[in-house]
Amino acid sequence: MKPGLLCIPCTVNAAFDMASRATDDPDKIKRILFEVLNWLPKAIEEDTSPNILHSHAFKIVQQLTGVKDPFRDLKKLSNDTALTVYSDLWNMIEKTDDKTEALRLSLKSSIIGNMIDFEVHGHRFSFEDFLSRIRSYLAEPLTIDDVGLLCENIREGVKVLYLTDNAGEIVFDKLVAKCLREKWGCEVTMVVKGGPILNDATLEDAKYVKLDEACSNLITTGDDTIGVAMDRVSEEFKNELNKADIIICKGQGNFESLIGLEKNIGKPVCYVLRTKCEVVAKSLGVKPGSNVVKFIGKT
Q: Does 277 bind its own copies (CB under 8 A)?
A: no
Among 23-31, 76-84, 141-149, 231-239, the segment contacting its own copies (CB under 8 A):
23-31
Among 22-30, 163-171, 199-207, 254-262, the segment contacting its own copies (CB under 8 A):
22-30
Q: Does 13 bind its own copies (CB under 8 A)?
A: yes
Among 38-46, 105-113, 187-195, 280-288, the segment contacting its own copies (CB under 8 A):
38-46
Q: Does 120 bind its own copies (CB under 8 A)?
A: no
C-alpha to C-alpha distance for 63 and 207, rounded to whole angstroms: 27
Task: Pick from 1, 22, 29, 64 the residue near its own copies by CB under 8 A.
Answer: 29
Lateral strand order in the sheet of 159-163:
144-145, 291-296, 269-274, 246-250, 159-163, 187-192, 217-220
Comparison of 37 and 115: residue with beta carbon closer to its own copies: 37
Among 8-16, 195-203, 258-266, 282-290, the segment contacting its own copies (CB under 8 A):
8-16
Task: Pick from 8, 144, 151, 158 the residue near its own copies by CB under 8 A.
Answer: 8
- The nearest distance, CB 130 to its own copies, in angstroms, is 25
List, in sequence order, every residue forming a beta bridge with 200; answer none if it has no partner.
166
Comparison of 18 and 154: residue with beta carbon closer to its own copies: 18
C-alpha to C-alpha distance for 86 and 171, rounded to whole angstroms: 7
Q: Does 47 bind its own copies (CB under 8 A)?
A: no
C-alpha to C-alpha distance for 81 and 86, rounded to whole angstroms: 9
Binding residues vs its own copies (CB under 8 A):
5-6, 8-9, 12-13, 15-16, 26, 29-30, 33-34, 37-38, 40-41, 44
